[in-house]
Amino acid sequence: MGLFSSFSISRHFLRQFAALSLSLFLILPLCACSGESRPENADQTILFHLQEDPSSLDPQIANSYGARVAVEALFEGLVRLDEDGEPYPGVAESWEVSGDGLSYTFHLREDAQWSKSVVTEDGETSVSSDPAPLVAQDFVYAWQRAVNPVTGCPEADSFAIIQNGEAIIQGEMSPDQLGVFAPDDHTLVVTLQSASEDFLTLTATAAFMPCQEDFFLWTSGRYGLEAKYVCGNGPFVFSNNYSWDHEEAMTLRRSTSYSGENEPLPAGLKLYVSTQAVDISNPLSAVEEGVVDLVLLPSEQLEDAQAQEEVQVITQPMDAVWGLCFNLEEDLLSHQEIREVFVRTLSREELLEHLPPHASVANDIIPDTFLWDGESYRDQAGSNLFLTEDPQATSSLSDILAKLKLDAMPSITVIGPENVRDMLNQMLITWNGRMGNYFNLEALSEEDLTSRISAGTYQAAICPLRTEDASPLSLLSLFASDNSANPARLQSTEYDSLLEQAASGSLSALEEAETFLNQRAIFYPLYYTDRYFVANATLSGVVIHPADQGIDFIQAGKLD
């Protein structure tokens, strides 16, 4: 493995990035074979700030970036993902795929174990620190939990790829009819609804992690809420029942019950969950002073960090899609004709002269780095789907306003991040000149911007779209009617139906869904941004997954 990995869906980019990484850092592979000495950067405690205290570490309901980072340390799926985003053996040491691509047979490691076991003595049930065997049924149980609407799994739609998955998610079939079964303790057979090159990669994500049914039931509704109520099968475990301090950090140590493709390199992880525990207000200083080994870096600090020899900067491509989004709960903006006027009066060329630093032009909602069924989505769907400028956009405005019983275009306020104030100003200059009214802007911190969009207290906004995995369906599902994070507050059975068809493997439905957002002027794409991390100069072996999927520390090392 490379020492520092930034996983993007673009394989060409990854090869270039990997080559760059190899030129900068020494590769230190880890052999788990007995008798070989440990690398000099092994057996350290890696310090990372999760930016939050996760509400739960139940993999089937993990709903935040911090939760997914912790889950990946504490659990392991059928596969893990390497620095290029390619699957390699996890709990499954091998697998076969049928000729038609619809059936997967996984062979689980016979020595795979849970970190704890449930025991019953004299009629009393308790938990022991003695490991329990992990069996194929643990995956069946977990996946059936995930598709059960009662669970509320935020990633349930990912299971629509499996036979009967969509019908179960919609409440039309029972969870036990999901196309997954365990013919014996070490074999798992999965039948897909349609062949997909993306399935193996999905099995590395949090929602697809196994669940020990006896332990889950023992927790009586507290599963994943405290260290005591977490039973994992991953490379790390909580140091003790009290090592999740909600005011400070999670303290993890290397698991003695883990058996996988690679022996964990670190002695442990310290995952800070509170800004009270450590000061990361200046991420660059926090790394330089050894407070953390790795932390998110604001783009405005990028040049300063790149100038420092004591740290390294890691770029994670494709963090967010930014664009002009309208709140459809606003009476005026609920009308497509009005939204089209706002978008079609804009000069795209003039707007894009004001890109924020380090951003790139976004001509589509779905980036060209995203794959569909193993191939570039943009190559399959075409590009440049955004609404184009129309010099005659305001010619019918008086008729539109009359139909809405309005004498003039009402003023609206558009909000956006501080670093695009000039772009916001350009919008207002255009709208004021073309519509004969005065429009307003508010430039906000990204935290305040996110809060306003989340609460729906805005009219129009330059807002970011971020996903938990780098898939076209996940990105477009942000606008689903039942998605609480829906930035536009879109409620459309037509759009939801397209998403359902796409979840079952329909590329044409996915294309129609993206076109729906563009042509109805719901979201107008403007630019893409990357995500940056600053790290200890000796830190190596960390795999940073795309989007908000998480980070893998299993091969992380550093020097004293």
pLDDT digits (tens, 9 = 90+) for 237-285: 999 999 999 999 999 999 999 999 999 999 999 999 998 889 999 999 9
Q: Are 50 and 70 in contact (CB under 8 A)?
A: yes
pLDDT of residue 146: 98
Q: Are 91 and 134 in contact (CB under 8 A)?
A: yes
The whole-number average pLDDT for the span 73-98 is: 96
> How far lies 505's CA from each of 192, 370, 496, in Å?
10, 15, 15
The whole-number average pLDDT for the span 444-461 is: 94
Residue 31 pLDDT class (50, 70, 90 cuts):
very low
Sign (positive/negative) of CA torsion 52, 525, 489, 160? negative
Gap between the Cα atoms of 495 and 46, Å rounded: 44
Please, what is the end-to-end C-alpha distance for the chain in angstroms?
Answer: 21
Per residue in 403-414, pLDDT (tens digit) is 999 988 999 999
The whole-number average pLDDT for the span 135-161 is: 95
Per residue in 301-323, pLDDT (tens digit) is 999 999 998 999 999 888 899 99
pLDDT of residue 20: 34
pLDDT of residue 30: 40
Does 483 have pLDDT greater than 60?
Answer: yes
pLDDT of residue 157: 87
Residue 9 pLDDT class (50, 70, 90 cuts):
very low
Which of the two residues, 18 and 315, has the higher pLDDT score? 315
> How far lies 148's CA from each of 69, 141, 169, 300, 417, in Å?
24, 11, 6, 43, 38
Per residue in 179-230, pLDDT (tens digit) is 999 999 999 999 999 898 889 999 999 999 999 999 999 999 999 999 999 9
Gap between the Cα atoms of 150 and 148, Å rounded: 5
pLDDT of residue 515: 97
pLDDT of residue 13: 34
pLDDT of residue 446: 86
Q: Which residues contact 161 (CB under 8 A, 6 or more apart)?
A: 192, 193, 194, 196, 198, 199, 202, 503, 504, 505
The whole-number average pLDDT for the span 98-123 is: 94
Q: Which domains does the chain have, with CATH numbers?
A: 4-282+539-552 (3.90.76.10), 318-530 (3.10.105.10)
Gap between the Cα atoms of 526 and 424, Å rounded: 12
Count CB-CB contacts under 10 A for residue 247: 9
pLDDT of residue 120: 86
Residue 10 pLDDT class (50, 70, 90 cuts):
very low
pLDDT of residue 36: 63
Quote the tokens at residue 402: 């009359």
Whole-model pTM?
0.83
Nearest to 153 by CA among 88, 114, 211: 211
Does 54 have pLDDT greater than 80?
Answer: yes
Percent of the chain beyond pLDDT 70? Answer: 94
Percent of the chain beyond pLDDT 90? Answer: 81
Q: Which residues contact 450 (CB under 8 A, 6 or more apart)?
A: 464
Quote the tokens at residue 400: 């539109």
Per residue in 34-45, pLDDT (tens digit) is 446 889 999 999
